[in-house]
Structure 1
């Protein structure tokens, strides 16, 4: 294999590794976003429930 061929093979391997790393990074970012969204939705739901529960409870006729 000539030096040009080995350089070309190294370049191809490098671009394959770069593409694989980019794919891995994209996957990690999408997983992180999905988890973050779920956590934030959970926090919002938890924060919303006590207020909704107390306001509904205050409307019960035997609480007046």
Structure 2
């Protein structure tokens, strides 16, 4: 495809809203996954700190 400017590139031949919408959804989900991973890590560390030495002789 031959683009004559940034506007043509962003339009993607009429499919730009689908292309850029898909990219934004995937990017948002990747950010959400990183956030959720950090939250789970902090919860796991807190659980280990609270219950780490129970039952030790």
TM-score by length of 2: 0.65
Moved over 2 A (4+): 58-62
Counterparts in 2 of 1:1-64, with a 5 A limit?
A: 17=13, 19-60=14-55, 62=57
The CA distance in 1 between the partners of 2:38 and 2:29, in whole Å, is 14
Flag the structure with higher helix content: 1
Q: How many correspondences in the alignment?
A: 47
Q: Which one has a bigger Cα radius of gyration? A: 1
Alignment root-mean-square deviation, CA = 2.1
SS in 1 for 2:52: helix
